[in-house]
Amino acid sequence: MNALGRHLLLELRDCNPEVLNDLKFLRECLYQAAKNIGATIVNECFHEFSPHGISGVIVISESHLCIHTWPEHRYAAVDIFTCGDAVDPERAVKPLVEQLGSKNPSFIEMKRGILQGSRVGV
């Protein structure tokens, strides 16, 4: 199977709620994750919700890393989408799980842009 990209979907449950509401900390976590996978950082956008929760994205040359947090549920959704073979998105998983204090993490990987004669039903 030949794919243009890899998309990791992290389900981080039972996290430390304090770090899930710390914009500066989460921004640094995503920056470090991008560096860990060998990505080239291009831009960023983060938003802090009231009364709690943060959404943020780090745009990389290879695609993006993003996070959405629900501190009140001790939950974070993290996406790591990379294109090409120059970076390894799985290298970001363990550090993010540890930094967010997730006691119940899981992730799945989706291949994106499957081209070699594959047809996917809509």
Average pLDDT, consecutive stretches of 10 residues, N- to C-terminus, the chain (122 residues): 89 98 98 96 97 98 97 98 93 97 97 74 48
- Which of these is catalytic: 7, 15, 63, 64? 63
pLDDT of residue 122: 46
CATH topology of domain 3-114: S-adenosylmethionine decarboxylase (3.60.90)
pLDDT of residue 2: 80
Question: Is residue 83 annotated as a catalytic residue, yes or no?
Answer: yes
Instruction: For the chain, give every domain's residue range.
Output: 3-114
Residues facing residue 59 across a β-bridge: 43, 64
pLDDT of residue 120: 52
Q: What's the angle, vertex CA 80, arms to CA 87 and CA 29, rounded to 5?
A: 95
* N-term to C-term CA, the chain: 19
Question: Is residue 61 annotated as a catalytic residue, yes or no?
Answer: no
pTM: 0.89
Question: Is residue 68 annotated as a catalytic residue, yes or no?
Answer: yes
- Which of these is catalytic: 15, 29, 64, 83? 83
Q: What strands, in cross-sheet order, belong to the sheet with 75-83?
A: 41-48, 54-60, 63-70, 75-83, 3-13, 104-114
- Which of these is catalytic: 68, 73, 102, 118? 68
**For 17, how many CA atoms within 13 A lie in the half-sphere containing its CB?**
6
